[in-house]
Amino acid sequence: MRNAILCTFAIGGIISAIALSCQPNVSIQTAQYAVNGQKLYQSHCQNCHGAKGEGLGALYPPLTDTTYQRENRRQLACIVKYGLDEPVEIHGKTYDGTMPGVPQLSNIEIAYILTYVTTTFGASTNSFTQEEVQADLKSCN
Amino acid sequence: MISNKTTYLFFLMLAALLSACTEKNSKKLPIIGEREAVEKLVDGKTVVDTVYHQIPNFTFLNQDSTLITDKDFESKVYVANFFFTHCPSICPTMQRNLLKVYEKYKGNEKVAFLSHSIDFKYDSPSVLKSYATKLGVDNAQWQFVTGSKKDIYGIAEKYLVYTKEDAAAPGGYDHQGYLVLIDQQKRIRGAYDGTNDEQVAQLFTDLEILLRESL
């Protein structure tokens, strides 16, 4: 009888371990935002930054610098919406081209894109929220 | 009777197999563009010859501020396209894909690349040089050229690529992202959408066929 109980626990443990390992380490909302963000990324960003966020030579920077993303998280919404007109250092290399912004994007769309980029190419597990984007956009240069 | 049938079947299969092989080896690319039949006199006899569409002579200023001409592409297979350096739409993807072809054939003197800028106002040789270097092009095998609007847009037509100055288009110019494959006789042998992965893969295949064709 004791063995049977142990066995049940063991099997239950294995099943839940398998079930848990299948779960991504991000919340449902983050996953949803990332899926929506992927479509927007493809139409607004992928041409230059590439399907894997790899960038292109020294022309367009990759979007895989997790340190940059963490340190500049509050500026990312401004860059997507209004572009970037100053040199930027990514993975220790300087990129000095001008990035055009996409001013027609809504706050929620920017949240989708940033969630996709920072969780797929970067190491972030948090989504950007609409409110966060709205607050960040108030302090653009 | 049965053995006869089997033998017959065997030879049929063998023949099919052989013809399949020869077909593969002798595969040729089509010659694209208008053509006309002309009569000429060879050894006192009148023969009919086909004249194919060819890229005419050209002279353009390249990224090193030197003039290059069609002579620089003589007896080479080359891939031509039309772009501009601050193009926000299809160019980055097209150039990213052409860069893969360039990297594969880097150092192969039989293969060259020619990118024409359609932004004759902004893309001066120094701008083109900076762009080429940043893209990762560090030898003369891939030329980036500029010229007068008339010359560049005129030659685009000869490559069967649509180009137009259009204020309504992203970046101010409208154009097609074709990678055009030209053979040693300046004839168009293929055109591939540089933003479509499948067509770019086809370019890789066809370039090999074209190089083998000329052996």
B87 among annotated binding-site residues: yes
Does the pTM surpass 0.90? The reply is no
Nearest to B72 by CA among B206, B154, B186: B186
The CA distance from A84 to B131, in Å, is: 18
* Check: complex ipTM more than 0.85: no
Question: Which residues of chain B, if any, have pLDDT below 50?
Answer: 23
Q: Amino acid letter at A10? A: A
Provide the residue range defining the domain that includes B59: 54-213
pLDDT of residue B18: 56
A98 touches chain B (CB under 8 A): yes
pLDDT of residue B139: 95
Express the helix, strand and coil content of chain B in percent, nearest 5 each: 40, 30, 30
CA quadruple B183, B163, B125, A47: dihedral positive or negative?
negative
Q: Does A43 touch chain B (CB under 8 A)?
A: no
Quick check: A12 contacting B, CB < 8 Å?
no
Give the model's pLDDT for residue B26.
66
Q: How far is CA A1 from CA A9, B92, B100, in A?
A: 13, 68, 66
State which residue of chain B sits closest to A49, comparing Cα positions: B92
Q: Which residues of A touch B129 (CB under 8 A)?
A: none
Residue B32 is assigned to a structural domain of this protein: no
B196 lies in a domain? yes
Enumerate domains of chain A plus CATH numbers.
Answer: 27-138 (1.10.760.10)
Residue B48 covered by a domain: no
Distance CA A80, CA B54 (A): 45
Please give the residue of chain A at the shortest CA–CA distance from B134: A58
Beta-carbon separation of A47 and B93 below 8 A: yes
User: Is residue B140, in this structure, part of any structural domain at all?
Assistant: yes
- Residue B85 placed within a domain: yes
What is the C-alpha to C-alpha distance for residues B159 and B144, in angstroms, rounded to an integer? 16
Q: Which of B89, B90, B135 sits opposite A56 (nearest CB)?
A: B135
For an interface test with A, give the residue of B103, B128, B134 to mutate (most A CBs within 10 A): B134
Interface test with B, best of A41, A59, A84 (most B CBs within 10 A): A59
Contact criterion met (CB below 8 Å) for A126 and A33: no
B181 neighbors B77 (Cβ within 8 angstroms) = yes
pLDDT tens for A66-93 read 999 999 999 999 999 999 999 999 999 9
Question: How many distinct structural domains can be found in chain B?
Answer: 1
Domain of B187: which CATH number? 3.40.30.10
* Strands ordered across the beta sheet of B188-193: B67-69, B59-62, B142-146, B111-117, B77-83, B178-182, B188-193
Is some CB atom of chain B closer than 8 A to the CB atom of A57?
Answer: yes
